[in-house]
Amino acid sequence: MLVYVEGRTKVKKVAILFLVIILTLAGCGQTASGDKGTDRRSSQSPSKQIIVSAAASLKEPLEDIEKLYEEQHQGLDLVFNFASSGSLQKQIEQGAPADIFLSAGQSQMDALEKQDLLVQGTRIDFTGNEIVLVVSRDNQNIKSFEDLTKANLISIGTPETVPAGKYAQETLKNMKLWDSLQDKIVQAKDVKQVLDYVKSGNVEAGIVYGSDAKSSDKIKVVAEAPAGSHSPIVYPGAVINTSSNLAEAKVFLDILCSSEAQAILENYGFKRVNY
């Protein structure tokens, strides 16, 4: 565009005017571009969170299974709440948010089912475990359950709230060792704490799941609980009836039973169960 003006002053004014117009247009271009960027971000829907309350012994394999689930179902985000099965049961009874409950014991799941807190038809048994006796890597004194009579302190999970502790108690009772060991037992809030006590040297031995024993190179397994010395160890899972993500929660339980997830669980020391 050509603009003809008379005089030097008018030329300067027109030049300034053109500069203002150009800068204004450039600024509008940047704003439009910025608005488009904002629109792209706002069009991305946030991830839907699926809350899984799971027994502490499942922590490592579930973190691997999480990747499997989220790769297959984009836009979904698994949020884990790990604790003892008894503690999780109480949380759910008190209304804590949870879509799925994965327990290390049947009694906790039974209690929720009796209160109609599970979605009917969603309960499954997805894996199993075994009970073992562990000591620190350099311990040479304890090589069997019977050797626990020589120990000063041993640790198990609290039997009332920790399924592994209940199985440990059953084992010791069936081996006629419980009465003589009660004064030596340090109860822990979950199996992870039992392992911490053993690794730190606060206790000489601990009774935990076989899967937990594989999680640390600072401990070693010296004995397995004799066959029939405790109740069968089966992990049940179910959808909680307050869940607003029923379809997504059911899919997660299906994935737990898939060959890929079962291979992950076995890699961490868990045992297959018959569905």
pLDDT tens readout for residues 158-203: 999 999 999 999 999 999 999 999 999 999 999 999 999 999 999 9
Report the run of H or E that residue 153 belongs to, with start and end: none
Prediction pTM value: 0.77
Cα diameter, the chain:
115
Positive or negative: CA dihedral 79, 90, 188, 261: negative
CA separation (Å) from 174 to 39, 161, 221, 230, 239?
67, 20, 20, 8, 35
Read out DSSP for 137-148?
TT--S--SSGGG
Give the burial class of 256: count Cβ atoms within 10 A of its Cβ; 0-12 exposed, 13-18 middle, 19 or more buried.
buried
Report the run of H or E that residue 79 belongs to, with start and end: strand 76-83
Q: Is the pLDDT of residue 215 over 70?
A: yes
Convert the pLDDT of each residue in 4-34 to its tens digit. Answer: 344 444 444 444 444 444 444 444 344 333 4
Superfamily holding 131-224: Periplasmic binding protein-like II (3.40.190.10)
Least trusted range by pLDDT, from 37-41, 66-70, 97-101, 194-198: 37-41
Report the topology of domain 48-128+234-267.
D-Maltodextrin-Binding Protein; domain 2 (3.40.190)
Q: How confident is the model at residue 234 (pLDDT cuts 50, 70, 90)?
A: very high
Check if the beta carbon of residue 268 is closer than 8 Å to that of residue 61: yes
In this chain, the answer to whether the domains covering 48-128+234-267 and 131-224 adopt an identical fold is yes
Domains of the chain, residue spans: 8-37, 48-128+234-267, 131-224
Convert the pLDDT of each residue in 60-83 to its tens digit. Answer: 999 999 998 988 888 889 999 999
